[in-house]
Amino acid sequence: MTEDIELVMACLTGDADALRAFVRQYQASVFGVCFRMLGHREDAEDVSQEVFLRAFRSLSKWDRVRPLTPWLLTIAANRCRTRLSQRINRPVSAEFVEEPAGADVAVGRHDLAEELQLALERLRGDYRLCFTLYHQNELSLEEISEIVDKPVGTIKTWLHRARKELAEHLQRRGIVPQVSHELL
């Protein structure tokens, strides 16, 4: 926490090295959230840049008592929601067309990652955001609650539903065997 404060203070003075260090430290987390929410690399790159620009403009408003990562990821989530709302009938790439259940699919590690990404893209935006923040960014339920401005109970429900929908998608695609829903 002290390191975050020192880095922010250096950024506020206009220290170019501190600004670069800030981006280096948080770019993977910000890009990860943007990519998972938007599903397209170019959009995620664009929005990630917007996130850092907005963060730099608003650093003086950051409450030093609160952790920096959830604050920054809140900006990322909001920018992604804005980008998603601006999309108009974007054509779906042929690579995302779902094969019928029972298709003989040999799945390797790379294929599983692609299938998981496809399944994540099909999730409702709120579910995808919570799933990504929890599993990829390893944030607590309380931090996610703060980012999305919803109660912890809602976050738990969204995580459960996201896991269930992901498992069902992977089962339909023959990627994973049927799993009891009590395990989700």
Where are the chain's structural domains? 1-86, 107-179
How far apart are the C-alpha atoms of 169 and 39, rounded to whole Å?
A: 16
pLDDT at 90: 53
pLDDT over threshold 70, residue 108: no
Question: Can you tell me the mean pLDDT for 171-180?
Answer: 71
Burial 157-166 (b: 16+ CB within 10 A, else e): ebbebbbebb
Architecture of domain 107-179: Orthogonal Bundle (1.10)
Task: Pick the range with the lowest mean pLDDT from 63-67, 75-79, 163-167, 180-184.
Answer: 180-184
Architecture of the CATH domain 1-86: Orthogonal Bundle (1.10)
- Contact between 125 and 87 under an 8 Å Cβ cutoff? The reply is no
pLDDT at 110 over 70: no
